[in-house]
Amino acid sequence: MGGLWAATSGSRSDSFLAAAEVLQVEIDVGRGNVDIRGGGLDEVNVQRTDHFSYYHSPEEVRTLENGVLHITSSCANLIVGSCSSDYRLRVSDNVPVVVHAPHGSIHLSSYRGSAELDTGDGGISVASFCGFTLQATTKMGSIDVATSCSPDRLELRSDTGTVNASVPEGRYRVDAATSSGRTSVRGVTSADDAPWSIQALSNSGDVTVLGVPR
């Protein structure tokens, strides 16, 4: 059995450039992690690494229609073995990003725009975000977000994980709460008429909203 696993297991990588104008990126990865970085040029750069065993490989469907690049990766339900795809994307600023990764983690960095991130049992980490709206939702993972400017709106929700938001000092409309963890809001001024808003919620994890000097 071990010999068969070794003979039929491995990984392979592929990449491509979406040279046509991309107005939005939508990626749905059944099993695997997604890493997205902003600051790209006009094209979208995608790198994919497939992991497989017992001849079971992920299947990808890729379309580019009306400016929307849509990527779907799926794996069959396996009794033995493993199957997953990890993605690394470089996108241009102000290109909206939608990511669903039910069984994986999501990392977003140095991105300017609007993003919707959703996981099931993985975590979400965001670094140097400077954009409009960031929606991050996970069932069993934690959320850790750091922004380099004051975003119009942060919506961060976790069922069982911690939620941490680090933003520049200032006035925000703040909705921070947890059912059974601890809530801490420091370094920001909560005001109903503030220009920016933060929602950080968890059912059973700690919630922290921290304002840091610019």
Kindly report the length of the chain: 214
Residues with Cβ within 8 Å of 156's Cβ and at least 6 positions away in sequence, in order, are: 134, 136, 137, 143, 145, 163, 165, 198, 199, 200, 201
Q: What is the CA radius of gyration of the chain?
A: 19
Residue listed under structure tokens 């902003």: 38
138 found inside a domain = yes
Report the C-alpha gap between 126 and 121 in whole angstroms.
17
Q: Which domain holds residue 187?
A: 105-214
Of 96, 113, 138, the residue that ends a domain is 96
Q: Is 79 exposed, middle or buried (0-12, 13-18, 19+ CB in 10 A)?
A: exposed
Whole-model pTM over 0.85: yes
Of 96, 126, 153, the residue that ends a domain is 96
Give 2's pLDDT tier (boundaries 50, 70, 90): very low
Please choose, from the candidates 26, 103, 10, 6, the residue with its C-alpha nearest in 3D space to the C-alpha of residue 68: 26
Give 79's pLDDT tier (boundaries 50, 70, 90): low
The pLDDT value recorded for residue 41 is 78
Of 96, 125, 144, the residue that ends a domain is 96
Looking at the fold, whether 29 and 120 belong to one and the same domain comes out as no
